[in-house]
Amino acid sequence: MKTPTPDNHSKILRNALYAFLFIILLLPNIYALAVCPELQFSAGKKIGYAAVSLVGFIVPLLFLKAKTYFIVEGIVSLLVAPIEIASLFFYGATTRSMFLRTIFETNTDEAREFITSFLPFAIVVVGVWVAYFALTIKAVRNTYIVPGRLRKLTLWALPIMIAVGLGYFYRMSRQINSQMTVSEVFTDALDKMFSKFYKIFPFDVYLSAGKLVEQQRELSESIEKLKDFSFGINAKTDSIPETYVLVIGETARWYNFGINGYERNTTPNMVRISNLVSYSNSISQANLTGNSVPMILSRFAVDNFDRINTEKTLPEAFAEAGFSLSWLTAQNQFAEVQRILTQCDKVFSTRKDFDSSENFDGLLLQPFAAVVADSAHTKKFIVVHLMGNHLKYNLRYPKEYERFTPALDDSFDYQMLSESIRDEMINAYDNAILYNDYIISELIKTLDNQGGIWAMLYLSDHGENLFDDERKLMVHGSNFPTPYEFRIPFIVSYSDDYAKAYPEKIANIVGNKDKHISSHVVFHSLLDMADLGAGVVDKRFCIDDTLLISPDTISVMLGNGDLADFCF
């Protein structure tokens, strides 16, 4: 047995030091593998996350010498590692722009209170930083760690790895929409592959920071552009309490609601509510959330989509009338919503990822009850933006709502999407509708318990394809829009006091339930239902009034025409 020479001994110590420093850099990634919910039920996801994390840290080693590498990575990765660990600890998700916004909007007192509460963690963080940089500066030699031949081999392997990853996402994109062209599938696959870096440290921190900067720029421009805009609405000066609620669902299609005639009883709570009207022929104006929600909030329809950002929105119109604003959401927000949030008296967000487990809409019920009970404001307008039925359907409801089986379970991955699991997909989807029914009924129960004049409008942003016909389409956002993507639930509920105060409006709301409508009616209808419509709304788009929508206004009627005009 050979006795280690001093040179060998030094080499072993040096490699041990490199390994130690490398592990410190990887701590957020290791923590994510241990606690991030969406990685817990798929070995493939764990392997993929670990592989991309390692590659992300190894690639710079091919070009940088050891001391330079560890200093650069220490600055780029280690200094922002506490942000990633905090996001994983508090929200079970990697860093998102909304989490960064929360950090940047924290005032000095809040920051001091937070650091004091987690003082041991703060001390450990500072200690790790000091130890890491001290060891790097004093003990690391500035030589290449990876031998030249291995560097060349790794550089050759990188394109192969990228090609394999792209092939994986290409197959996924092709499965989701088999009718897209090769170019469209390739573009979609690139987008999907790039989006994964929003979930891998340290890329997620910097990509989310860039997204936040862009959002803030758009927000500032929007605020400046519309600062002098006014709908000319007269504020209500009486002291009679009134509450109006807009609930925006997600990916819920009309066809799977029991209250609309679906063979399954997916809405057992709503069917028992007396003051509730479910509309028969309602469609969305777009099959993607980012296009649909801005139109729901605007008085401009799809044929004037380019004018949406030229004026303020429905919540801002209510604010002009003296109503307090609250926005409660289970989703991330885009620029139009961010401007609204700056004017809200109350904002609550779960800030969870689409693939986070236990990110249930029920988390919004308690904040909603608190807003409704707030006696500081007699006039209230509340928006509740649900996660609803967005894929993965099995993550949208607690296990006690798994009535329809067999359903998708925690092992489900997007790569598994195929017609072979259609029954499991539909069962999970219907379970999510069942839970959605509970959420809607609980919101109504909260309003009922508070009493007084109130009205609530619920609609989904768009629907969903579930292998419904020979096209074998799934999910939404198709370039070949279908009625399943566009036909959405549209439900109105109201209090006895509202019915007494506005009997003619209730007669029209009920009488119009079988007319053809689109989500364009939301702006006009809610303002008119609150008796704020003078000079602002168009009676042709008011469900509580005339509602005279001609075929020229809505060019498609639920599958009896060309839906392309409504596709975004």
Give one DSSP letter per residue of 191-260, joined into a string.
Answer: HHHHHGGGGSTTHHHHHHHHHHHHHHHHHHHHHHHHTT----PPPP-S---EEEEEEEESS--GGG-GGG
Buried b (16+ CB within 10 A) or exposed e, 146-157: beeeeeeebeee
Calculate mean pLDDT across residues 69-81: 93
Residue 170 pLDDT class (50, 70, 90 cuts): confident
Q: How far is CA 351 from CA 95, 175, 356, 363, 387, in A?
A: 10, 29, 10, 11, 11
DSSP three-state, residue 532 = coil
CATH number of this structure's domain 229-566, picked from the four choices 3.40.1260.10, 3.90.550.10, 3.40.720.10, 3.40.228.10: 3.40.720.10
Distance CA 374, CA 368 (A): 10
Kindly tell me if the per-residue pLDDT of 52 is higher than 50: yes
Residue 86, φ and ψ in degrees, nearest 5: -65, -40
What pLDDT is recorded for position 143?
87
DSSP structure class, residue 487: B
Percentage of the chain exceeding pLDDT 70 = 87
Better pLDDT: 338 or 432: 432
* Residue 163: predicted pLDDT: 79
Q: How many other CB atoms sit within 10 Å of the CB of residue 291?
A: 20
Q: In the predicted model, what is the mean pLDDT of residues 124-129?
A: 91
**11 three-state secondary structure:** helix
Selection from 374, 379, 273, 293 nearest residue 340 by Cα: 293
- Beta carbons of 386 and 436 less than 8 angstroms apart: yes
Q: Are 558 and 487 in contact (CB under 8 A)?
A: yes
3-state secondary structure of 440: helix
Q: Omega before 406 cis (within 30°)?
A: yes
For residues 178-201, give the mean pLDDT: 76
Residue with the bigger pLDDT between 224 and 311: it is: 311
What counts of helices (H) and strands (E) characterise the chain?
19, 11
DSSP assigned state of 145:
S
- Digit-coded pLDDT (tens) for 473-526: 888 876 667 889 999 999 999 999 999 999 999 999 999 999 989 999 999 999
pLDDT top residue among 144 and 116 = 144
How high is the mean pLDDT of the chain?
Answer: 85
**pLDDT tens digits for range 260-310:** 999 999 999 999 999 999 999 999 988 888 888 989 999 988 888 778 888
The domain limits of the chain are 6-198, 229-566
Q: Which residue has the tokens 């942003």?
A: 461
Label each residue of 277-330 as H, E or C: EECCEEECCCCCHHHHHHHHHCCCCHHHHHHHHHCCCHHHHHHHCCCEEEEEEC
Q: Tell me how far apart the alpha carbons of residues 17 and 140 are, in angstroms, rounded to a whole number.
A: 8
CB pairs under 8 A, 24+ apart, for 410-415? 410/40, 410/41, 410/357, 411/41, 411/42, 413/42, 413/44, 413/45, 414/172, 414/176, 415/44, 415/168, 415/171, 415/172, 415/175
This prediction has a pTM of 0.72
Q: Which residues contact 376 (CB under 8 A, 6 or more apart)?
A: 324
* pLDDT interval class at 398 (50, 70, 90): very high
State the amino acid at position 257 in one-letter form.
Answer: F
At 79 the pLDDT is 92
pLDDT for 90 beyond 80: no
Mark 398-415 as b/e (b = at least 16 C-beta within 10 Å).
eeebbbbeebbeeebbee
C-alpha span between 407 and 404 (Å, rounded): 7
* Cα 139 from chain centroid (whole Å): 46
* Model pLDDT, residue 178: 61
Q: How far apart are CA 376 and CA 236, in angstroms?
A: 16
Mean of pLDDT values over 428-457: 97
